[in-house]
C-alpha cells in the first residue's frame, strides 16, 4: 500500500442551513477536518447516528458542497473546480449508498443501467454489453440479470448491482456509506467480502462508513472515530479496536454486540445508537469537549477547551486531555 494520499482534506467544513421557528440558522455538521486518505487503504469512519459520517463521506467527494477548506487530489483543490472539470473527475470518485432499494431506478433494466454508465465513461458501443456482463460476473451475478428490473432482486443482489454500477465508472476511490446496514444479517458478510475482494483485485481505495467499530476493525487498515462532527480518534484499525484511547471510542466498543452472539440487525442498530437526548444540541454547541457531559474521565479543563488531535501511546491521534493509554484496558469499563 502506498502512503501517497489519494485525497488530502484540509480544514474541510460543512455547515447546513436549518430553521428554528421563524429564524434561519446554521449547524456545523463537519468541523474543520484534516485527513489524508492513503492510496489503496481501507479507511473506516465510525460513529453513532448524527456524528457526521455521511457528511464527511459526501463532502470529500464534493457531493455535499463544503462551506470551507480544501480537498486536494494530485495537487489540485477539488473545491476550486468548476462543474465541467468536476464532472470529468467524478467517475474516479464513487459512492455506494446504504439503501439498495432507493439507489436503483426501478424502471431501468440492469443491463441498460450498466451500459449507460459505460457509455458515459467512453466505452465503445459494441463493447458495452460484454463489459456489463463481465461486471455482473465480478459481483457474482449471472448474465440473465441484464434483462431484469431491480424489483426482481433481493436486497443483497441489489447492493451487488449497485456495486457493479459503481465499478462501471472504473473508480479509484469508493466511499461506501453503511453499505450493509439495510441488508439481512445473513448476507452482510458476503457483501463486505465482495467489496474487499474487488478492492484488492482492482487496487481501489475504500472509505467504509459504519456504526460498527468491531466489524470494521476486521476489514479496515485505519479507523477514524467521529463524534459531534469531528474526528475524535484515528489510528490503526486493529489497535483502535483493542486499545482505544478516546473514552468515546471505548464506549462505542463496549456498546457493540459480541461477535460470537448471533445478533439481529435490530439488536446491532439498537446497541450502536444512542438516544438523541444524550447528544449535545447542534444549535447550541457546548464549550470545550462535546463529549464531556457523557464522559466519566472528564477533567475541569474539558469544559473550557477542546484538546485537538494529538498523538496517543497506541500510535494514533486523539482529541482528549485524559485518554486511555495502551496499558489501560478500557474495553467493557464504560457503558453506553
Ligand atoms: N441536509 C441537511 N440539512 C440539515 N442538517 C443536516 C443535513 N444532513 C445532515 N444534517 C445534520 O448533520 C448532522 C450530521 O449528519 P450525518 O448524516 O452526516 O451523520 P451520520 O453520522 O452519517 O448519521 P447516520 O448514521 O444517522 O446517517 C446531524 O445532526 C444531521 O441532523
Domains and CATH numbers, the chain: 1-80+212-336 (3.40.50.300), 101-178+185-202 (3.40.50.300)
Classify residue 53 by its DSSP letter: H
CB neighbourhood size of 172 (10 A): 19
Ligand 1 centroid–CA 54 distance in Å is 7
Contact 117, 169 (CB under 8 A): yes
Distance of CA 168 to the CA centre of its chain: 21
Which of 27, 50, 281 to probe ligand 1 with, by most ligand atoms within 8 A of CB? 50
Report the atom number in ligand 1 closest to the C-alpha of 47: 21
Query: Which ligand 1 atom is at minimum distance from the Cα of 56?
Result: 18
Q: What is the pLDDT of residue 133?
A: 97
pLDDT at 95: 94
| Contact predicate 272/225, CB 8 Å | no
Q: How far is CA 73 from CA 5, 39, 94, in A?
A: 8, 11, 14
Q: Report residue 185 as a C-alpha cell.
A: 444479517
Ligand 1 centroid to Cα of residue 274, in Å, is: 14
How far the first Cα of the chain sits from its last, in Å, is 35
Probe residue for ligand 1, chosen from 19, 44, 46, 53 as the CB with the greatest number of ligand atoms within 8 Å: 53
Residue 329: predicted pLDDT: 64
Q: Which of 30, 52, 268 to mutate to test the pocket of ligand 1 (most atoms within 8 A of CB)?
A: 52
Mutation pick for ligand 1 pocket among 12, 16, 284 (CB with most ligand atoms within 8 Å): 16
Q: Which residues form ligand 1's pocket by a CB distance below 6 Å?
A: 16, 18, 27, 29, 47, 49-55, 211, 282
Best CA proximity match to 317, nearest among 246, 220, 228, 226? 246
**Positions in the chain short of pLDDT 70:** 1-3, 257-278, 329-336
ipTM over the 0.95 cut-off: yes
Query: Ligand 1 centroid vs 50 CA: distance in angstroms?
Result: 5
- Residue 235: predicted pLDDT: 97
Dist. CA 16 → ligand 1 center (Å): 9
Which among 204, 210, 240 is positioned nearest to 222, based on CA atoms?
240
Q: How far is the CA of 29 from the centre of ligand 1 (A)?
A: 7
Nearest to 132 by CA among 152, 161, 111: 111
Distances (CA, A) of 203 to 2, 9, 198: 11, 21, 8
Q: How many CB atoms lie within 10 A of CB 76?
A: 13
Dump the DSSP string for 56-91. Answer: HHHHHTTSS--SEEEEEETTEEGGG--HHHHHHHGG
Q: What angle do CA 316, 322, 325 make, to 5 degrees?
A: 50
DSSP string for 118-156: HHHTT--HHHHHHHHHHHHHHTT--GGGGGS-GGGS-HH
Amino acid at each position: 500500500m502506498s502512503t501517497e494520499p489519494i485525497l488530502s482534506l484540509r480544514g474541510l467544513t460543512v455547515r447546513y442551513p436549518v430553521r428554528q421557528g421563524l429564524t434561519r440558522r446554521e449547524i456545523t455538521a463537519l468541523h474543520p477536518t484534516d485527513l489524508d486518505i492513503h492510496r489503496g487503504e481501507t479507511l473506516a469512519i465510525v460513529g453513532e447516528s448524527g456524528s457526521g459520517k455521511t457528511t464527511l463521506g459526501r463532502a470529500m467527494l464534493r457531493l455535499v458542497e463544503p462551506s470551507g477548506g480544501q480537498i486536494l487530489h494530485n495537487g489540485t483543490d477539488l473545491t476550486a473546480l468548476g462543474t465541467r472539470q468536476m464532472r470529468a473527475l467524478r467517475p474516479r470518485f464513487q459512492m455506494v449508498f446504504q439503501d439498495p432499494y432507493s439507489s436503483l431506478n426501478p424502471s431501468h433494466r440492469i443491463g441498460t443501467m450498466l451500459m449507460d454508465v459505460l457509455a458515459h465513461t467512453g466505452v465503445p458501443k459494441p463493447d458495452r454489453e460484454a463489459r456489463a456482463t463481465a461486471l455482473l460476473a465480478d459481483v457474482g451475478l449471472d448474465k440473465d440479470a441484464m434483462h431484469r428490473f431491480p424489483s426482481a432482486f433481493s436486497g443483497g443482489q441489489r447492493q451487488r448491482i449497485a456495486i457493479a454500477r459503481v465499478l462501471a465508472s472504473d473508480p479509484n476511490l469508493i466511499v461506501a456509506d453503511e453499505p450493509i446496514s439495510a441488508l439481512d444479517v445473513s448476507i452482510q458478510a458476503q457483501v463486505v467480502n465482495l467489496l474487499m475482494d474487488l478492492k484488492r483485485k482492482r487496487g481501489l481505495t475504500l472509505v467504509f462508513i459504519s456504526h460498527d467499530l468491531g466489524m470494521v476493525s476486521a476489514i479496515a487498515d485505519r479507523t477514524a472515530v467521529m463524534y459531534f462532527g469531528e474526528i475524535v480518534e484515528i489510528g490503526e484499525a486493529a489497535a483502535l479496536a483493542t486499545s482505544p484511547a478516546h473514552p468515546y471510542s471505548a464506549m462505542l466498543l463496549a456498546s457493540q454486540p459480541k461477535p460470537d452472539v448471533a445478533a439481529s440487525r435490530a439488536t446491532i442498530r439498537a446497541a450502536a445508537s444512542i438516544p438523541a437526548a444524550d447528544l449535545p444540541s447542534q444549535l447550541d454547541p457546548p464549550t470545550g469537549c462535546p463529549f464531556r457531559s457523557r464522559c466519566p474521565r472528564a477533567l475541569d479543563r474539558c469544559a473550557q477547551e477542546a484538546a485537538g488531535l494529538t498523538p496517543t501511546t497506541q500510535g494514533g491521534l486523539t482529541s482528549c486531555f485524559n485518554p486511555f493509554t495502551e496499558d489501560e484496558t478500557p474495553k467493557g469499563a464504560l457503558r453506553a
